[in-house]
Structure 1
Amino acid sequence: MLPYGRHAVDQDDIDAVVDVLKNQLLTQGTAVPAFESALCKYTQANYALAVNSGTSGLHVACLAAGVGPSDLVWTVPNSFVASANCARYCGADVDFVDIDPLTRNISVECLKIKLANCRKFPKALIVVHFAGVSCEMQTIAALMKKHNIVLIEDAAHALGATYQDKPVGSCHFSDMTVLSFHPVKSITSAEGGAITTNNKGFIERLTLFAKHGITREPSSLEDKDQGAWYYEQQELGYNYRMSDLHGALGLSQLNKLNTFIQHRREKAGAYLSALRALPIKLPSEDALATSAWHLFMIELIKHDRKQVFNALRDRGLGVNVHYIPIHRQPYYQKLGFEHGDFPNAEHFYQGAITLPLFPTMTEIEQQYVIDTLIDVLQ
């Protein structure tokens, strides 16, 4: 079965992990700080904190933003559930903003309408760079600044993408950006994530919540008269640390990120050229040179999605669907959301299929995907 995504690990990656196993501390050593420093250099952000998953990153970003039980957080419905669950972990309420049918990202017009008609402004907005394409961050940032709303980028799909010639993760228009290093993402640390920010106060809060709520920083201690062993728990935090094994793999992978993204863009371009005549809706070609192309999503126009999906699977293609709209999950239905609440996201979901795309995908493999899809649709 040809999967929709696959990690690419070479001998350099293996050697980096083995070096930690043989010669370094397995956790709280030097590999994770080196990875964080490299992430700052790549994204052009001032600070980075590596954690054990993108979900953990979203959670501590909400905590650092001050999200709590009396607050409201907005995000989009076409994402993995973690984009909304992170607010629920903090006890906050969640609402959604519908998507733009063309970009599949948050609709700026829907956001403007929701802001104009809401009775309670959200504490934070979490925008999702769907499939690797950046949202319209400059416009969104201006709207958030007007209402003093913390802006968090869920860039789990988008490491390696750019917006206005700046790397996604630079936080040029946001307060924090959350990254994911799951095996099918732009780079992998097996499991892992990170948060970037340019705000010193946020990085201090992020670090505190990700490490048990404990600090050893002398300037932050309430009791400054103890010895070098002394630490204080100042918040109810979590053990979201990344191990040095994961950090070493992430650092080695980061060195190859630009090559990975170039391969993804070449394959996305090949799909766009080969599938243009089919009765399907393709991703926008406008994003070809700026997207990280984490996913290549098509929308069926006249075919039954279930039949096409099963036919492609039967022929050895590990196609997938991203995503079931969050508000249609049973948990969120129990909170009062209903089918039809966000029609653009639901319409996209009805016809969406994710085709295989990953850096090590061969021309023969991609041609098989193209030929098989053409055959099934005809």
Structure 2
Amino acid sequence: MIPYGRQSISQADIDAVVEVLKSDFLTQGPVVPRFEQAVADYCGAQFGVAVNSGTAALHIACLALGVGPGDWVWTSPISFVASANCALYCGAQVDFVDIEPDTGNMCAVELERKLVIAKREGKLPKVVIPVHFAGLPCDMQELHRLGQEYGFRIIEDACHALGARYHGEPTGNGRYSDITVFSFHPVKIITTGEGGMAMTNDPALAKTMRLLRSHGITREPEDFINEPDGPWYYEQQMLGFNYRMTDIQAALGLSQMENLENWIAKRGEIARRYFETLSPERLPRYFSTERRSAFHLYVHHVTPEQRRDIFQKLREHGIGANVHYMPIYKQPWHQTCHAIPQSHADQFYAGAVTLPLFPGLMKQQQGELFNQILTDQS
């Protein structure tokens, strides 16, 4: 079966992991900060805080921004559930902003409309989490402008978007947000097996997130609250978590960074062939100088009446079709949250079919894909 996404692992990746396995450090040793610095340098950010998943990065990002009971966090309904769960972990309430119908990204116009109402009702969000769906950056300039006007903080959920660019600048540089979060799950742009990273330009936020990822514990004498009683002394200064990334994972990620631009280019070539064959009218939006997608996913749209049959036939022919995503507010756990009546999110989901997209997808395989899809749609 051709999967919808899969990792690319080279001998250099394997050698990097083996080198760590032979070293003195398996958990948090010297490779984790090297990986953090490599991603920060690539993005143009001051700090990277590596953790064991993108979900963990979202959670500590919310906590670092002071999200707690009584607060509102708004995000996109077209995303994995972690984009909303991270706020619920903090005791906050979640609401959703409808999407742009052609991209799946949070719609700035809908956000502003909701903000006007929320201000009148005294329910403005503390944090807004736009999701760069499928790797295409949101309209961050406009979201940042609204953040300045209405006083909310911004966490970019860029779990799909390492390698994306907005107005020529890398996603993750923090120009329009407080924190940006990446994921390194195997189907993402690069992988560490499982893993994530939070990027920021704020040293206080970086320091807080580093504490939160490791039980809230510090061993740095200059940060101690009490007088140490010996060289063995450490302090727990907040309620943190075991969200640490290992040196094994970081070694894989550091090696994978060497191929990032090459993989982004390959994903772009594959996506362009999809658009040219299946949705040429969407080409300008996805291949503009304003926003460069990382092309984590390619979501093809069919009619709701066609989707089940097309999905099943693709699977029967060994094509690992998937669907991204059911609106989060439709999940049983989230049905107490606010749904969006007659939403673009519902319409987007109703006809969405995710087709295979990963650097190792061969042109011949994609040709076979086209034949099957066009046959099924006719």
Match of 1:136 in 2: 139
Partner residue in 2 for 1:122: 125
Are the counterparts in 2 of residues 260 and 359 from structure 1 also a CA contact under 8 Å? yes
Which residue is 2:73 aligned to? 73
Contact 1:160 1:168 in 2 (8 A): yes
Residue of 315, 318, 334 corresponding to 2:317: 315
Aligned pairs for 1:1-378 (under 5 A) are 1-118=1-118, 119=121, 120-276=123-279, 283-288=282-287, 290-301=292-303, 303-333=305-335, 335-338=336-339, 341=341, 343-378=343-378
The worse-fitting range, judged by mean Cα deviation, of 285-294 and 134-143 is 285-294
Question: Compared with structure 1, are the counterparts of its residues 239 and 224 closer, same or farther at alpha carbon in structure 2 (3 Å cutoff)?
Answer: same
- 2: distance between equivalents of 1:76 and 1:93? 14
Alignment check: 8 A CA contact 2:31 2:247 kept: yes
The structural deviation recorded for 1:302 is 6.8
Taking the aligned partners of 1:176 and 1:336, their CA distance within structure 2 comes to 24
The answer to whether the 8 A contact 2:219-2:234 is kept is: yes
Stretches of structure 1 that go unaligned for 5 or more consecutive residues are none
Compute the displacement of 1:109 (Å): 0.5
Q: Is the 8 A contact 1:283 1:298 kept in 2?
A: no
| Letter matched to residue 12 of structure 2 | D
Whether the 8 Å contact between 2:272 and 2:283 is mirrored in structure 1 is no
Amino acid at match of 1:184: V
CA deviations on 1:70-92 (whole Å, 9 max, x unpaired) are 21100010000000000000011
Task: Report the secondary structure of 1:125's partner residue.
Answer: strand
Residues 283 and 296, structure 1, Cα contact 8 Å, conserved in 2: no
**C-alpha distance in 1 between matches for 2:34 and 2:275:** 38
| 8 Å contact from structure 1 (residues 52, 193) kept in 2 | yes
CA distance in 1, matches of 2:177, 2:44: 13
CA distance in 2, matches of 1:5, 1:139: 31
Q: Which amino acid aligns with 1:18?
A: V
- Structure 2 distance, partners of 1:97, 1:359, is 32
* C-alpha distance in 2 between matches for 1:58 and 1:352: 26
- For residues 284 and 61 of structure 1, do their structure 2 counterparts lie closer, same or farther at Cα, with a shift above 3 Å needed? farther
RMSD after superposition: 1.4
Deviation at 1:195, TM superposition (A): 0.3
Kindly provide the CA deviation profile for residues 40-93 of structure 1, in whole angstroms up to 9, marking residues without a partner as x: 110000000000000000000000010011211000100000000000000110
What letter is aligned with 2:359? P
Distance in 1 (CA, whole Å) between partners of 2:374 and 2:159 is 31
Give the Cα separation in 2 of the matches to 1:284 and 1:83: 27
Q: Which one-letter code corresponds to 1:175 in the other structure?
A: D
In 2, the alpha carbon distance for the partners of 1:275 and 1:176 equals 35
Contact 2:94 2:337 in 1 (8 A): no
Which stretches of structure 1, 4 residues or longer, exceed 6 Å deviation after superposition? Answer: none
Amino acid at match of 1:320: N
82-91 or 209-218, which deviates more: 209-218
Q: Distance in 2 between matches of 1:20 and 1:302?
A: 49
| TM-score scaled by length of structure 2 | 0.96
